[in-house]
Amino acid sequence: MRKILALVAIAVITITTTVDIVAQQPPIDIRPEAPPGIATMVQRLLNWLYWGAWIAVFGSAVYGVIQWVTGDAEKGKRFLGGAIIGAVILAALTVLIPALVS
């Protein structure tokens, strides 16, 4: 019986001490924040990728026209179609990305 009372007393003391310690701590406010300079680096990388994508669309269109003119109309149509679809997607990204981020 003494052991049970001792265990209950230890449990009560532990719980009250823990509650006091937790009550005395200031509230913890954790907010994710990128390290300084990361945002500009990410923005620059996205700008370069966007520019490269437009170069690829232009190159695809030129290659498609060359293929069409030289006699491979099917291949030319595929590349021109891909260039048009790519241009539409890239043009939509300027509206779509800010809408998703905000």
pLDDT at 27 over 60: yes
Are residues 68 and 77 in contact, defined by beta-carbon separation less than 8 angstroms? Answer: yes
Q: Whole-prediction pTM value?
A: 0.61
What value does the mean pLDDT take over residues 4-20?
A: 69
pLDDT band at residue 29 under the 50/70/90 scheme: confident
CB count in 10 Å sphere of residue 75? 15
**Domains of the chain by residue range:** 2-101
The predicted-structure confidence for 59-77, as pLDDT tens digits, reads as follows 999 999 999 999 989 999 9
Are residues 76 and 102 in contact, defined by beta-carbon separation less than 8 angstroms? Answer: no
Q: Which pLDDT score is estimated for 75?
A: 92
| Whole-number Å distance between alpha carbons of 52 and 92 | 16
Q: Which pLDDT score is estimated for 21?
A: 59
CB count in 10 Å sphere of residue 97? 12
